[in-house]
A = this chain, B = another copy of it.
Amino acid sequence: MPVNLAAPDPASLLPVPGVRLGVASAGIKKPGRRDLTLIELAPGSRVAGVFTQNRFCAAPVAVCREHLARGDIRALVINTGNANAGTGEEGLGRARQTCSAVARLFAIDAAQVLPFSTGVILEPLPIDKILPALPAAHADLAAERWSDAAAAIMTTDIVAKGASRQLRIAGKTVTVTGIAKGSGMIHPNMATMLGFVATDAAIAPALMQRMVSEVADLSFNCVTVDGDTSTNDSFVLIATGQAASPEIADAGPDYSALKAALAEVAIELAQAMARDGEGATKFMTIAVEGGRDRAECKQIAYAIARSPLVKTAFFASDPNLGRILAAIGYAGVQDLDVNALKVWLGDVLVAEAGGRAAGYSEAAAAAVMKEAEITVRVSLDRGDARATVWTCDFSYDYVKINAEYRT
């Protein structure tokens, strides 16, 4: 069951002026389930994205990159139940056909549509089901549909994921709302499964890519469930510019304020993926500090967060903490001095001077292990850099969910 995670109250997901959403049932995997989402953007909206680094990137990811390069995006179309990945030329054709059909509904060009797919890999995208359902999604468009869209993009997710923030820029209220999906095949590399964050702030086009990359690095690029990087990871930032706040044209205080709000929303969504990680019973924060650079901190944090041995020990609430040391040791930081580092479980100092801490008490560690949310802190004592990674434990249910995924 998801760890301390409930679906957002629909009223808490604030509409973003310039954005309307609609959902429909295309019957892609299960009849009657809402599995198709349209997002309409007002003219003048600016859009930027970061996408999977997987060489087997999905057809819709390839089309997104192409269309974003041309600019002036006006609509997004998202289906669940099929990833349209590992589908070759035919998959690209079907992603383009979907864009064309959406373009006709909005009387825009196909290149103004971004397509997204999530679900099973290596099976043909069922456009015979998707295209006929588009008009219903179009008829459903409304500004208050964020929570419906959050539910319609789920795959193995148990809980829909969404968050909103408001801030003031030059005296004007600006809204940020985002939704995301993902609970397995989660180890984003540049971006995550599917994440969409919109704001009515105005951002200069030249700053959009920088903003989306910086926000991804603080949020979706800090989460892992199973270490598998998806073929479809996509994180899209939308700025409609309808808040009447002045355009953010440089990386000054307004940029920082907006980035902070965007990052808050994105971090909440990224953490929600780990809380809703397949089979999760614990939410784990791995915080590494005192590194020479952020990269080595992240490398060590990810080694711990990915280790099946660490994750099963947490599932069992067993402070078998030597497994954490083993993961630190094989993380690949070549000149790491293991005698200089310290490891804490919650507030309990576990390891120092290359071995178990003098005052370590197994009972104290066992008490921390029983919590649903646990922080592992590692201090490397060789610099000022730090990085945090969020993950979940590894339970019987992870195996069950993934052994039975297609049945």
Contacts and interface: CB of A to CB of B under 8 A. Distances in A.
Interface of A: 53-57, 83, 85-91, 120-124, 184-185, 187, 189, 226-231, 306-309, 312-313, 315-316, 318, 320-323, 325-331, 333-334, 336, 338-339, 350-351, 353-356, 394-396, 398-400, 402-407
Given A308-B226, A321-B122, A330 B53 contact: yes
A312 B407 CA distance: 13
Query: Copies per complex?
Result: 2
A403 B318 contact: yes
Contact of A55 (B228, B316, B328): B328
A26 to B, nearest CB: 20
Nearest to A54: B329
Contact of A308 (B121, B329, B354, B402): B402
B83 A322 contact: yes
Nearest to A318: B406
Nearest to A354: B88
Contacts of A309: 184-185, 226, 228, 402
B121 A325 contact: yes
18 contacts: A55-B328, A55-B329, A56-B338, A56-B354, A85-B326, A86-B351, A88-B354, A89-B355, A90-B355, A189-B330, A227-B306, A227-B308, A231-B326, A312-B399, A312-B402, A315-B399, A320-B405, A394-B399
A364 to B, nearest CB: 15
Contacts of A306: 227
Nearest to A187: B330
The 5 closest A-B pairs by CB, nearest first: A121-B322, A88-B355, A56-B329, A316-B403, A122-B322
Contacts of A53: 330
A316 B398 CA distance: 12
A327 B57 CA distance: 11
Contacts of A353: 88-89
> Max chain B CB contacts within 10 Å: which of A88, A227, A399?
A399
Contacts of A407: 318
Given A56-B338, A308-B226, A326 B403 contact: no
Contact of A229 (B57, B89, B121, B326): B326
A313 B85 contact: no
Contacts of A124: 356
A325 B226 contact: no
